[in-house]
Amino acid sequence: MSHSDSHAHGTTGGAHAHPPYMKVFFFLVALTIVEVAIPFVLSSNKGLAVTLLISISVVKILTIARYFMHLKFDARVLGLVACAPLVCASIMSIALLWDN
């Protein structure tokens, strides 16, 4: 790989570290447990519960995209292009929820 190619791929010539897949997996499991608990804990405040569930889902999706789709090792602009529609849709969903 030439020097110019390494900059195009977001690396500086050396191999990047192996992603911590097990740490990411346990982080996602913990978030899933929190997601399952939210409806029971916040049963009286459905708006807040749904807002938290959507927020946690966004964090999970971004984590999956970052590590399992390897966006962490690509140029940041690719990550923004991939994640911007998700963030916009989530904001719109939360705004419409509070309007109801």
pLDDT of 25-80, one tens digit each? 999 999 999 999 999 999 898 889 988 998 898 889 888 877 777 666 667 777 67
More confident residue, 52 or 92: 52
Structure confidence at residue 7 as a pLDDT band (50, 70, 90): very low
Count of Cβ atoms closer than 10 Å to residue 82 Cβ:
16
Q: Where are the domains of the chain?
A: 22-99
CA dihedral 28, 32, 34, 40 (to 10 degrees): 180
Q: What predicted TM-score, i.e. pTM, was given to this entire model? A: 0.61
